[in-house]
Chains A and B, each alone.
Chain A
Amino acid sequence: LVFTEEDKYGLYSNLLFKYFLAEGVVCGHDLFVASAKEHPDNILKELPAPLLDDTYGKELGDEAAAVKSEDFQDSMKIAWRYQNLPKMEASPTTYTKFGHYYDVSKKMSPELCQSVKWHSFYLHEELSFEPKMKTCNMNSGYARLLQSIQRIISQEGFDGSDPQKKRKNALRIGIQSLGSMLWGDDVCCSDTPEDTHSLTKFLYVLRGLLRKSLSACIITVPAHLIQNKAIMERVTNLSDMVVGLESFIGSERETNPLYKDYHGLVHVHQIPQLNSLICDVSDTKDLAFRLKRKLFTIERLHLPPDLSDTVSRASKQDLAGSAKLLSSGCGAMAIGKKHLDF
């Protein structure tokens, strides 16, 4: 269960979200997209196109791509906020190649999108259905989402309950902007929300569903809006993996020469520790991201050489091979000397 803290305007978190789904499409996983903000159909139309080895520019979506890059230009002026932490359920499928690269300026072709089966959950369309499960005092939007996920998992056989339907692939679940007001949860508006436990109960049940089935999930949450820090701590404990994205736009770091090559920082708060005693084995935790015209890369934070008169000099050497750090099936990409497969 990958829990991502959204940045203020949700731009980079959306990008990560789409990468996760795009990787699913390319790997042939089924998708389940849930959102209260935009219709999942629209989300799916905007997945980035994969970069294939041979051809660099696959067709289509030029107008859409143009719109998207403009969109990014605007968002650059907005301050980033912490992205929510992603929880990542260990994806059981293995890849021969580790992840794929994506071209941000192009959209994925409809044929490719339609090559996988996908399910959607758009909260405002689902409000008319009554949840059939016991809600346990959970917010009804969350309860419906859980019911929908559980239904897909058991119908499509991802939980192995039906020996007839042997699945060879996994289900990738993406939930956008959980905890925001659009889901009917006021945890983002006030310090003492009415129901402090809905979000955590939801996450616990979701965790149970993920553990029981062949699925992985990414959730983005506008953590910057959640005033009650206790809830964020609990949510961190309930997640497998927690990543926060902090962009520099609008903050004082934008002009800091240390960060001039980057657009933001990636804070890895927690790494999944599944099936083993060993915990964190990464070499470094300073990661930064940047959005180039076509690629979104995550790199080790590399401070430029200090050419001033001061004596002390802090520079971090890049090391390749931090790919083992984030070992789930998320398809983010990095091209360049500093690598992080995500």
Chain B
Amino acid sequence: QGRFTLLRDTRTDGSFLVHHFLSFYLRAGCKVCFVALLQSFSHYNIVAQKLGVSLAAAKERGQLVFLEGLKSCLDLLFGEEEQPAQPSPLQFLSTSDLRALFDFVRVSLTPADGDSWKGPVLLVDDLSVLLSLGAAPVAVLDFIHYCRVSVCCQLKGNIVVLVHSNEDSEDEENELVVNSLCHHSDLILWAEGLATGFCKDVHGQIKIIKRLSLRQAAEQDLVQIYQYKIQDRNVTFFARGLSAAVL
């Protein structure tokens, strides 16, 4: 409970981790607020069905609150002139202020009467897009901080956030956000493309870093490295160098 997990990808696409956590938490009976900035609802729905979860059903029974960034930005830009009752969560497109987004998250995850879900979960895919859309890095970090206070501490929930990063990246703002988040995460899952290049049987390597040093002063972080291959319905993990193709 109360954990902040950072999903990070470099030279590869780490979105399979997002799909995993989404179906994992839904199956566990948690209330999930999913801020999906990069893909459409149907994309996640189709993949989730392969993983055995129906997002549409979860939405209907109130277990899943889905913010479809692409659709909301269209409503914001091309919508009717009259002001809607609530400010759109994507208001930062014009005002660079992420407060509306935070309010949206807080309201969705605050348990309503009659809710019987186990702990709330905030899932964000992905945070780097906020920088592309005009938010300042400090604003993004503030947003995450507010979410942590609200979701992790007050509501005892979990947060999972995906960010992209690159070695030798020239995107300093992004690197700033990513490094800062790394320091404050309880668990980091870092999916990397293989250093030797593209391979058909091993899609990448995942580094699992359990930040024990955050909670207790004398502890060291625990780092585990596996390689993985993504299939249509699941992902297989194996020790480095021991992919099925080699054995």
Which residues does A use to contact B, with CB under 8 Å? 133-134, 136-137, 146-147, 150, 197, 200-201, 204-205, 207-209, 211-212, 228-230, 233-234, 237-238, 273-281, 283, 285
Minimum CB–CB distance for B199 against chain A, Å:
10
Judge whether B171 is part of the interface by a CB distance below 8 angstroms.
Answer: yes
Judge whether B46 is part of the interface by a CB distance below 8 angstroms.
Answer: yes
What are the nearest 8 A-B pairs in CB distance? A230-B171, A208-B70, A200-B132, A229-B170, A136-B94, A234-B132, A197-B134, A211-B40
Contacts of A147 in B (CB 8 A): 78
Q: Which residue of A lies closest to B51 (CB)?
A: A277
The digit string for B1-33, where 1 denotes a CB below 8 A from any CB of A, is 000000000001101100100000000000000
B170 touching A230, Cβ below 8 Å: yes
A197 touching B233, Cβ below 8 Å: no
Considering only residues 68-115 of chain B, those with a C-beta below 8 Å from chain A are 69-71, 73-74, 76-78, 93-94
Per a CB cutoff under 8 Å, which of B12, B19, B74, B129 touches A205?
B74
Minimum CB–CB distance for B159 against chain A, Å:
21
A279 touching B13, Cβ below 8 Å: yes
Contacts of A137 in B (CB 8 A): 94, 134
Bound-state CA distance A285–B12 (Å) is 15
Contacts of A230 in B (CB 8 A): 169-174
Q: Which residue of B lies closest to A271 (CB)?
A: B13
Judge whether B128 is part of the interface by a CB distance below 8 angstroms.
Answer: yes
Judge whether B47 is part of the interface by a CB distance below 8 angstroms.
Answer: yes
Bound-state CA distance A273–B13 (Å) is 9
Judge whether B219 is part of the interface by a CB distance below 8 angstroms.
Answer: no
A204 touching B171, Cβ below 8 Å: no
Per a CB cutoff under 8 Å, which of B46, B74, B129, B169 touches A233?
B169
Contacts of A150 in B (CB 8 A): 74, 78
Known: A205-B74, A208-B70, A211-B40. A238 touches B134 (CB 8 A): no
Bound-state CA distance A200–B37 (Å) is 13
Bound-state CA distance A201–B96 (Å) is 12
Per a CB cutoff under 8 Å, which of B42, B47, B69 touches A276?
B47
User: Given A208-B71, A233-B170, list of 4 further CB < 8 A pairs?
Assistant: A204-B133, A212-B40, A237-B129, A275-B43
Bound-state CA distance A278–B169 (Å) is 25
Bound-state CA distance A273–B47 (Å) is 11
Bound-state CA distance A273–B125 (Å) is 15
Contacts of B76 in A (CB 8 A): 134, 136
Contacts of B230 in A (CB 8 A): 277-279
Contacts of A229 in B (CB 8 A): 170-171
Q: Which residue of A lies closest to B200 (CB)?
A: A283
Bound-state CA distance A197–B94 (Å) is 11
Judge whether B148 is part of the interface by a CB distance below 8 angstroms.
Answer: no
B46 touching A276, Cβ below 8 Å: yes
Judge whether B118 is part of the interface by a CB distance below 8 angstroms.
Answer: no
A211 touching B128, Cβ below 8 Å: no
Bound-state CA distance A113–B47 (Å) is 39
B203 touching A280, Cβ below 8 Å: yes
Known: A233-B169, A237-B164. A212 touches B134 (CB 8 A): no
The digit string for B166-199, where 1 denotes a CB below 8 A from any CB of A, is 1001111110000000000000000000000010
Contacts of A208 in B (CB 8 A): 69-71, 73-74
B164 touching A275, Cβ below 8 Å: no
Contacts of B53 in A (CB 8 A): none
Per a CB cutoff under 8 Å, which of A204, A281, A285 touches B129?
A204
Contacts of A273 in B (CB 8 A): 13, 15
Q: Which residue of A lies closest to B169 (CB)?
A: A233
Q: List 9 A-B contacts (CB under 8 A).
A: A136-B134, A208-B71, A229-B171, A230-B172, A234-B171, A234-B174, A275-B46, A277-B19, A277-B230
A274 touching B43, Cβ below 8 Å: yes
B132 touching A238, Cβ below 8 Å: yes
Judge whether B231 is part of the interface by a CB distance below 8 angstroms.
Answer: yes
Bound-state CA distance A96–B78 (Å) is 36
Q: Which residue of A lies closest to B91 (CB)?
A: A136
Minimum CB–CB distance for B200 against chain A, Å:
7
B166 touching A205, Cβ below 8 Å: no
Bound-state CA distance A280–B173 (Å) is 28
Minimum CB–CB distance for A281 against chain B, Å:
8
Bound-state CA distance A229–B38 (Å) is 21
B132 touching A237, Cβ below 8 Å: yes
Bound-state CA distance A281–B229 (Å) is 11
Minimum CB–CB distance for A28 against chain B, Å:
25
Q: Which residue of B lies closest to A134 (CB)?
A: B77
Bound-state CA distance A276–B230 (Å) is 10
Judge whether B131 is part of the interface by a CB distance below 8 angstroms.
Answer: yes
Contacts of A277 in B (CB 8 A): 16, 19, 47, 50-51, 230-235
A234 touching B71, Cβ below 8 Å: no
B198 touching A285, Cβ below 8 Å: yes
Q: Which residue of B lies closest to A207 (CB)?
A: B70
Bound-state CA distance A273–B200 (Å) is 16
